[in-house]
Structure 1
Amino acid sequence: MDATPPDQTALLARADGPVTRARLGDDLTALGLGEGDTVMFHTRMSAIGYVAGGPPALIGALRDVVGERGTLMVTCGWNDAPPYGFTDWPRPWQDAVRAGHPAYDPVVSEADHDNGRLPEALRRWPGAVRSRHPDVSFAALGAAATELTADHPWDDPHGPGSPLARLVALGGRVLMLGAPLETLTLLHHAEALADAPGKRFVEYEQPILEGGQRVWRRFRDIDSSDGAFDYSSVTPGGQDPFETIVRDMLAAGIGRRGRVGAADSHLFEAGEVLDFGLAWIQEKLGGAR
């Protein structure tokens, strides 16, 4: 998202003028975000309007609102991870990748560009920490940052002990700032926990650093790219399953809705998202009650 800079005049008009750090703070407070909150956020900058100062202004506004006792978290991933399917390449190609591909380094490896500008901005922020998992890394900044990201499980990285699980355990929240509803990553935690038939998994290899040495490790996770389940029978044609779940959640009265700049935004309690998503998946797909 937001790979091409949008027309600034259009952004100014959309938000009725520049969106400043102070205005962002006021809008976030009105939405319900508050002092001491631990919040995972998803952002589509162009939806907000012209943000004076860009991502640093938005991160600054979020920090203003949650304060020193609060924590911000984003999903990062790894932009330059080896392709999942490289093990199907001709042997000389595989050997070249294994010999020369740099290891994932939480400090320098870029966040996945598909996640927009904010994850990269936050993970580079002074004092931010990032989890060790190469494919499913999260970055956090604030009082609970280390607690959220430490010892990210190598396998089942969306499940128990993951940063998502810890966000729920800490009574955290999820903030959608103009981001598409299907980007609500916490629902992958519900998929990881769901007891429903037909769950799909993937295995892949990526290089990591262990004791200062580059080693290749094999990982196992739910299929978060193509879908942990076949939702085709329970979602409208062409609609992402997570969008369907979030729309049903909003229809049930879960979450708060408001404007941040020009962006239609939502604030959810992480525990409510997990409970609703887990119940929805198991009910719709015939899982355990």
Structure 2
Amino acid sequence: MDERALLERSGGPVTRTRLAADLRALGLAEGDTVMLHTRMSALGYVAGGPPTLITALLDVVGGDGTLMASCGWNDAPPYDMDEWPEAWQRAVRAEHPAYDPELSEADHNNGRLPEALRRWPGAVRSRHPDASFAAVGAAAGELMADHPWDGPHGPGSPLARLAERGGRVLLLGAPLDTITLLHHAEVLAEAPGKRYVDYEQPILVDGRREWRRFHDIDSENGAFDYSPVVPEGEPFTVIAEDMLAAGFGVRGTVAAARSHLFEAPEVVRFGVGWIEEKLGGRSGLRSLDPGP
């Protein structure tokens, strides 16, 4: 989309001041620890791009707040590399660069903001190659420390710590199915048929490149078969819509973007309850009362 179309969408340039005012109106506040999901084009013409948005977010959460985003690794070896011809595998194993938290690019599919955030002065990026996160702010080190090699979406992960801290999830023009925190709910949910993946990727160990095997839920193709309860569309979209209908989360507009703000502990509790009720015959949703 060209600049003129973006300007028309947002009714003029989207500035740092305008973004900060809209974020406060949505409910973001000083001291918040917040995980971000952003579609920059949905905001309109942001004068200065991702750095302007990050600066506006930092203006709102202040020195005691923290910003966090899912990065991944754009150039990670694919899960199915072990199905390649042996000669191809040998070539990759011999020379594929190791994941480096400071150098490895964030997954381009996550948009422009995660890459900008991981490069931000003082940013901390977690050590896991495939499921890395980055954070900036007061709690960045605590959130990113000792990211589990196996089960990187589960207990002890940045996602778990976000919920434990009473953090928040902010979607700025991003679709509801991008709520990465629901992968943590999938790990915790007790329901049959949970799907896992095992894969190898190169990491740095004491400065040396080593291939390591990892184990995780299948976050790419789905940790569960949701088709019996969600025959069409994205399961996370349905969970998020049900969450909003139950009174969890708020909707609003930031610049030109339809946006949502959720409380991380509620996302996890609701997600676990939804999965267990729909897929495991439990009644976990009954305890989720948004209150008055």
**TM-score under structure 2 length normalisation:** 0.96
Task: Judge conservation of contact 1:245–1:277 (CA < 8 Å) in 2.
Answer: yes
1:233 to 215, 222, 228: 228
Q: Please state whether the residue corresponding to 2:56 is helix, strand or coil.
A: helix
Question: Residues 133-165 of structure 1: CA distance to partner in whole angstroms, max 9, x if unpaired?
Answer: 000000000000000000000000000000000
RMSD of Structure 2 on Structure 1 (CA): 0.8
**Equivalent residue number for residue 55 of structure 2:** 60
Q: Percent identity?
A: 73
Q: Please state whether the residue corresponding to 1:74 is helix, strand or coil.
A: strand
Q: Please state whether the residue corresponding to 2:237 is helix, strand or coil.
A: helix
**Equivalent residue number for residue 290 of structure 2:** none
2:54 is aligned with what amino acid? I
CA distance in 2, matches of 1:201, 1:194: 14
Task: Summarize the alignment of residues 79-228 of structure 1 with structure 2, pairs less than 5 Å apart.
Answer: 79-228=74-223
Question: Residues 198-236 of structure 1: CA distance to partner in whole angstroms, max 9, x if unpaired?
Answer: 000000000000011000000000000000000001114
Which stretch has the larger CA shift, 197-206 or 8-17? 8-17
Aligned residue pair count: 283
CA distance in 2, matches of 1:56, 1:195: 40
CA distance in 2, matches of 1:287, 1:138: 33
Q: Please state whether the residue corresponding to 2:68 is helix, strand or coil.
A: strand
Runs of 4+ with deviation above 4 angstroms: none
CA distance in 1, matches of 2:17, 2:47: 10
CA distance in 1, matches of 2:79, 2:244: 35
1:283 to 265, 277, 286: 277
**Does 1:10 find its partner at 2:5?**
yes
**TM-score under structure 1 length normalisation:** 0.97
Task: Judge conservation of contact 1:255–1:267 (CA < 8 Å) in 2.
Answer: yes
Q: Please state whether the residue corresponding to 2:242 is helix, strand or coil.
A: helix
Structure 1 unaligned blocks of 5 or more? 1-5
**Does 1:41 find its partner at 2:3?**
no
Note the C-alpha offset of 1:89: 1.0
Task: Summarize the alignment of residues 64-79 of structure 1 with structure 2, pairs less than 5 Å apart.
Answer: 64-79=59-74
Task: Judge conservation of contact 1:25–1:64 (CA < 8 Å) in 2.
Answer: yes
Q: Please state whether the residue corresponding to 2:23 is helix, strand or coil.
A: helix
Structure 2 unaligned blocks of 5 or more? 285-292
Task: Judge conservation of contact 1:197–1:287 (CA < 8 Å) in 2.
Answer: no
